Amino acid sequence: MDVRSRNNVVVTGESGGPVLLLAHGFGCDQNLWRLVVPALARRFRVVLFDHVGSGRADPAAWDARRYSSLDGYAEDVVTLCRELDLRDVVFVGHSVSAMIGVLATIAAPERFAKLVLLTPSPSYLDDEGYRGGFSRADIEELLDSLDSNYLGWSATMAPVIMGNPDRPELAEELTNSFCRTDPAMAKVFARTTFLSDNRDDLPKVPVPSLVIECAHDAIAPREVGAYVRDHIPDCRLVTLDAIGHCPQLSAPGPTAEAIAEFAANGS
């Protein structure tokens, strides 16, 4: 299957510029990058895509077994880079895609120059000496609710994920994005997202990295950003004066600026 149709690949921006590969999070698609793309496209070649099971990716490519692990998504990213002959890629991964980027850079370091982790979490589960933000009971309740009533779960969780209660249009957009996702595929991706533990992979990241976190994020607390920074060998941390788990929507200007500064200059 051609990777462009499989992952609904869209390329825009400066054709000769450094490559930014933008990867969306759970329940979303490349459309959620639209507010940062115009600023980035002035300086970079911006490559957008949808994970299989999301957006306009080819549903025929879906395989529940393959995508029950983040490795399946990471393999797709590496295949995309190889088939499009992308080199010196700056991978920008939002939420769960941050860990997909971690796995992809480890698997094919020759393709990647830098890694940007936007509101990442290597594990959502609290553990001894580690605060992920959720207990085992929290995660089980979240997944049970998603399994029993996906649309209801979407309407309830989107405002929590997005934050910014004074801007209800943001939560509405995320709710609509969730609801456009096939529930059967979303349930598999949700379990993969919330039950994965990639803490042991962080020290293996072979490229300079940047964590971008928000000052207030109900999904990835501040302790998580510091943990990721401290466990990736060459990693910086930027804290945006922003609320929620999706700053590319709630604070697109500062988000684009942080990505561009690191991609062009930071190391």
**CA torsion through residues 166, 247, 135, 154, sign:** positive
245 is annotated as an active-site residue: yes
Catalytic residue among 95, 121, 154, 196: 95
Exposure of 122 in the CB half-sphere (CA atoms within 13 A): 23
Alpha-carbon gap, residue 265 to 267, rounded angstroms: 7
Look up tokens 């990505």; give the residue. Answer: 259
Which 8-state DSSP code applies to residue 26? Answer: T
Other Cβ atoms within 10 Å of 233 Cβ, number: 12
Alpha-carbon gap, residue 119 to 220, rounded angstroms: 6
Catalytic residue among 24, 94, 245, 250: 245
Alpha-carbon gap, residue 207 to 221, rounded angstroms: 24
With beta carbons less than 8 A apart as the criterion, state whether 228 and 202 touch.
yes
With beta carbons less than 8 A apart as the criterion, state whether 40 and 11 touch.
no
Other Cβ atoms within 10 Å of 166 Cβ, number: 7
- The CA radius of gyration of the chain, in Å to the nearest whole number, is 17
Exposure of 157 in the CB half-sphere (CA atoms within 13 A): 22
Catalytic residue among 29, 50, 76, 217: 217
Catalytic residues: 95, 217, 245
